[in-house]
Structure 1
Amino acid sequence: MTKRDYIYWGATGLLALAQFASGTLYLLAEDMAEAFRHLGFPDYFRVQLGIAKIVGSIALLAPLPRFLKEWTYFGFITSFVSAFIAHTAVGDPIGDILPPVIVLGVLAVSYVTYRQRQAAPANDE
């Protein structure tokens, strides 16, 4: 494995774990339901997003065709940008606004190294 592979798997594993945990909490934790109400979202959206995050976290780790991986990354980007906008719109403190931005940074590392791995020859070091 190359240094790029370690960076890819580290960032992707961290992203997948965070999103799986987040999706699970969206479905099970009452404080997450309250957070969605605070942001003005209906309860069904919390359930839908929780399921999407769990499925997406599995898709990041699974050996899927490139177009499915690309859509998975796009879905997470949309989720993180939307979370930033929602928290900012309701006037939440910086502690609530920064997490989606930080996770977006981890996603960027995962995506860039994913694309580099796709473009590199099999014996690249």
Structure 2
Amino acid sequence: MNTQKILFWASTGLLSLMMLSSAFNYFTSPQMEAAFQHLGFPSYFRIELGVAKILGVIALLVPITPYLLKIFAYSGFFITFVSAIIAHIASGDPLQAMLMPVIALILLIVSIFYYEKLKP
């Protein structure tokens, strides 16, 4: 396996683990529910976002997913991470609260960069 494939799968795998973990927390964690309320989001939004993250991970990991659907998933994740950073800034949260969305955004950029390079 060449370096580009390794970087693609490493970034996509880590991103996917982060998204599945956060989706699980959206469904089960009272702290996550409180965090969404703190940011001014309604409770149902975290459920919708959790479902969307699971569907996005499936789209990224399944090799036969059509190109346009993968790009749709990448775009959705991009909007989610940028929105999370903006929401934390607008709520006056400390910089450490933005760490996970920033890390996820970096992994996303690496993943899509190598996805495009490896695309047939």
The RMSD of aligned alpha carbons is 0.8
Larger radius of gyration: 1
Q: What is residue 122 of structure 1 aligned with on the other side?
A: none
Alignment gaps of 5+ in structure 2: none
Task: State the Cα deviation string for residues 52-100 of structure 1 (Å, max 9, x = none).
Answer: 1111112110120100000000000000000000000010001002221
- Secondary structure at the aligned position of 1:91 is classed as coil
Q: Which amino acid aligns with 1:22?
A: S
Q: What is residue 47 of structure 2 aligned with on the other side?
A: 47
Task: State the Cα deviation string for residues 3-53 of structure 1 (Å, max 9, x = none).
Answer: 100110000000011101111110111100000000000011011001111
Q: What is residue 102 of structure 1 aligned with on the other side?
A: 103
Q: What is residue 78 of structure 1 aligned with on the other side?
A: 79
The offset of 1:108, in angstroms, is 0.4
Sequence identity percentage: 48
The offset of 1:102, in angstroms, is 1.6
Which 10-residue stretch deviates more, 80-89 or 51-60? 51-60
Matched, 1:67 2:74: no
- Secondary structure at the aligned position of 1:40 is classed as coil
- Secondary structure at the aligned position of 2:119 is classed as helix
Q: What is residue 123 of structure 1 aligned with on the other side?
A: none
Q: Distance in 2 between matches of 1:78 and 1:96?
A: 17
- Secondary structure at the aligned position of 1:26 is classed as helix
Q: Which amino acid aligns with 1:86?
A: A
Q: Distance in 1 between matches of 2:6 and 2:69?
A: 22
Q: Distance in 1 between matches of 2:105 and 2:28?
A: 24
Q: Which amino acid aligns with 1:96?
A: A
Q: Distance in 1 between matches of 2:62 and 2:25?
A: 22
- Give every structure 1 segment of 4 or more consecutive aligned residues whose post-TM-superposition deviation is greater than 6 Å: none
Decide whether the 8 Å contact of 1:24 with 1:54 is kept in 2. no
Which 10-residue stretch deviates more, 50-59 or 31-40? 50-59
Alignment gaps of 5+ in structure 1: 120-125
